[in-house]
Amino acid sequence: MKTLLNKTKTTTIALSSILLLLVATSPALAHSDAASLQGGFMSGFMHPISGLDHVVAMVAVGLWGAFLGKPAIWILPVVFPLVMAFGGALGVAGVPIPYIETGIALSGVVLGLAVLFALRPPMWIAAFIVGAFAIFHGHAHGTELPNATNPLIYSLGFVIGTGLLHLAGILIGELKRLPWGDWIVRAGGAIIALIGLGFLTHIISS
């Protein structure tokens, strides 16, 4: 019981730290013009966490990884940014990929449902699903990268922002160790799926 309480305390502290970091960076974005952020670390850092459609998918990756356990808990959060980088390179090169926004919205729906229904596919299938959606997210961001005045610093901020979102999902997923924690995590998947469905509905209707 003591070990469980310690894990809960650690999870709570970590989540609070992430939330504090996000809150602290928000005013910086609000009070800076686009020119000063363009191409900089903060621009890259804020990019993945400034769009809810991207946030829910990246959190879902960590959430699903934590739900599946080892080795998925670290494989999925590694596969996503690696394949996303490939998608980003396609965007930078101007290689067209159809239905980018639809793919991004579907990533929230599919990954959220995977958590909600506690799907446990073979590792390679889970990695394939995550990687496939990562291409859409990467391409969407990559098309904006050529405007960056410092792509390296921008990319560093982007990777850190993405990693924090994955970490947030993993930490939330660790709540499954608590009584009723399994259902709390699955409820998180349901919320993500609903958000993704909302974006998908908006895309189809527009």
Domain edges within the chain? 2-205
Amino acid symbol at 37: L
Q: Which two tokens stand for residue 74?
A: 């670290």
Give the chain's largest Cα–Cα span: 55
What are the angstrom distances between the C-alpha of 159 and each of 52, 96, 120?
17, 23, 27
Q: Which two tokens stand for residue 96?
A: 């067209």
Query: Residue 189's pLDDT is what?
Result: 96
Handedness of CA 55, 97, 88, 110 (dihedral sign): positive
Q: Which residues contact 57 (CB under 8 A, 6 or more apart)?
A: 104, 107, 108, 111, 133, 137, 192, 196
CA–CA dist 102, 199 (Å, integer): 8
178 three-state secondary structure: coil
CB 136 within 8 Å of CB 107: yes
Query: Residue 153's pLDDT is what?
Result: 81
pLDDT in tens, the chain (206 residues): 444 445 444 444 444 334 333 333 333 333 333 443 455 788 778 888 888 999 999 999 999 999 899 999 999 999 999 999 899 889 888 899 999 999 999 999 999 999 999 999 999 999 999 999 999 998 988 887 656 557 778 778 888 889 999 999 999 999 988 888 899 999 999 999 999 999 999 999 98
pTM greater than 0.85: no
CA–CA dist 84, 88 (Å, integer): 6
Query: Residue 25's pLDDT is what?
Result: 38
CB 47 within 8 Å of CB 162: no
Phi-psi region of 118 (alpha: psi -120 to 50; beta: other; left: phi over 0): left
